[in-house]
Amino acid sequence: DAGVIQSPRHEVTEMGQEVTLRCKPISGHNSLFWYRQTMMRGLELLIYFNNNVPIDDSGMPEDRFSAKMPNASFSTLKIQPSEPRDSAVYFCASRLGGTGPGELFFGEGSRLTVL
Amino acid sequence: GQQLNQSPQSMFIQEGEDVSMNCTSSSIFNTWLWYKQDPGEGPVLLIALYKAGELTSNGRLTAQFGITRKDSFLNISASIPSDVGIYFCAGRPLGGSNYKLTFGKGTLLTVNP
């Protein structure tokens, strides 16, 4: 079975450029999460979608960050303009069910470096 | 916000040794999870615990949901080189959002062959 698929795996860009990260959740999972991982702060929840609807975006750092989920099989996280402090590994994760004990399955992550 | 204290931060052990790590919280949790992250990969769920006192095994791994509901433990028996990685605890606070996990900072495990 295919897991959560993320692209690109690695992205190196210059400050000020737009970055778009992509995610395909596990088929049938109706909850999707974007996390950011850094050494200093660990894993942080950025945004949570349930049935393609953003439920909690309180973790999105600022207006430069935006996320969309146009359908059940695709989501994007966009940073515009990017800054060096955005350098991190960004994980997408999916889960079956907005409630109940279903647990998170993570993608392999997108490592972003902003120069 | 909610924080989990995970210890130790890192461990260096010899192959064949047993490993113990734990996670504590200042408040009650109703779910405890243990994930492993290999270098360059995403976290993978190892064990999920939902009841106080619950003891669950997954091969050489055993985890327990503390009876106070404020802690959890993960033990690895007879470690092997592929056990290398970062182990994260995670949990859901009682009364918190059912979708929001709090993660520990991780325990970096190194196994010397």
Question: Higher-confidence residue: A88 or B1?
Answer: A88
Residues of A in contact with B99 (CB under 8 A): 31, 33, 48, 50, 55-56, 95, 98
Q: Between A43, A98, A107, which is nearest B103 by CB?
A: A43
In this prediction, residue A102 carries a pLDDT of 62
The percent of residues in chain A predicted with pLDDT above 90, rounded, is 85
Q: Is there a contact between A42 and B104 if contact means CB atoms under 8 Å apart?
A: yes
* Cβ count within 10 A of residue A108: 18
Cβ–Cβ of A45/B97 closer than 8 Å? no
Across the interface, whether the CB atoms of A109 and B42 are under 8 A apart is answered: yes
pLDDT tens sequence across B84-110: 999 999 998 888 887 888 999 999 999
As a whole number, the mean pLDDT across chain A is 93
A110-114 and A10-13 strand pairing:
parallel
pLDDT at B99: 83
State residue B98's pLDDT score: 79
A67-71, A97-101, B98-102: least confidently modelled range: A97-101
Say yes or no to pLDDT of A99 above 90: no
Eight-class DSSP state of A83: -
pLDDT in tens, B29-60: 999 999 999 998 999 999 999 999 999 999 99
Residue B17 pLDDT > 60: yes
- Choose between B61 and A103: higher pLDDT: B61
Residue B81 CA, distance from chain mean position? 18
Say whether pLDDT at B1 is over 90: no
Say whether A95 and B99 touch across the interface (CB within 8 A): yes
What is the rounded CA–CA span in Å between residue B67 and residue A115? 48
Can you tell me the mean pLDDT for B8-21? 96
Q: Give chain B positions within 8 Å (CB) of A91.
A: 42-43
> Chain A: which residues have CB within 8 Å of chain B?
4, 31, 33, 42-43, 45, 48, 50, 55-56, 91, 93, 95, 98-101, 103-109
Is the pLDDT at A16 greater than 90? The verdict is: yes
Q: How far apart are CA A37 and CA A16, in angstroms?
A: 21
Q: Do B48 and A101 touch (CB under 8 A)?
A: yes
Indicate the pLDDT class of residue A98, thresholds 50, 70 and 90: low
Length of chain A counted residue by residue:
115
pLDDT over 60 (residue B63):
yes
- Cβ contact A56–B100 (<8 Å): yes
**Chain B residue closest to A92 (CA)?**
B42
How many C-alpha atoms does B64 have within 13 Å on its Cβ side? 11
- Which residues in A1-115 belong to E strands, given as ranges? 5-7, 10-13, 19-24, 31-38, 42-50, 53-56, 65-71, 74-79, 88-95, 105-106, 110-114
**Residue B75 C-alpha, separation from nearest chain A C-alpha, in angstroms:** 21
